[in-house]
Structure 1
Amino acid sequence: MPVRLKKFLGAIILIVLVVVYAVLATAFATVYLAESSGWIHLAYFLFTGLLWILPAMLVIKWMETAPRR
């Protein structure tokens, strides 16, 4: 796969990942943490705010790998 196409697809995947992840994390917090204290919300959003980095790192690693010849 050409490098330019790989980076374009990776950028699209990253945008979709962030949007879907943010919507799902917020929906989960709205449904299950509505009555929780502010400290629980802080811990949850701190954790989920950092958790999306793991799949994003995999996508970026894939984008940066050299094409096979």
Structure 2
Amino acid sequence: MPVRLRKFIGTILIIILVLGSALIANTIAVATLGEAPWWGHLLYFALTGLIWILPAMLIIKWMAGPKQQ
């Protein structure tokens, strides 16, 4: 697969990943964190804000292609 196509597909996947994770995290927060203290909100959004990084790293690694020797 050409590098440009791989990077285009990866960019679209990362955008979908970020938007999807934000939507899911906010939906769960609205449903469950209504009565939680401020530190509960802080902890929840800090963790969910970092969770999307792991799949994004895999997508970026795929976008880079095979290792050059």
Q: What is the TM-score when the length of structure 2 is the normalising length?
A: 0.92
> Could you tell me which amino acid in structure 2 is paired with residue 45 of structure 1?
F
Q: Following superposition, which runs of at least 4 residues in structure 1 exceed 2 angstroms of deviation?
A: none
Partner of 2:53: 53
Deviation at 1:56, TM superposition (A): 0.3
Tell me the residue number matched to 1:40.
40
Aligned residues: 67
Deviations along 1:11-42, whole A, 9 cap, x unmatched?
A: 00000000010000010010011111110000
Deviation at 1:3, TM superposition (A): 0.5
* Structure 2: distance between partners of 1:65 and 1:3: 7
Aligned-pair identity in percent equals 55
State the TM-score, normalizing by the size of structure 1.
0.92
Partner letter of residue 58 of structure 2?
Answer: L
Structure 1: which 5+ runs fail to align?
none
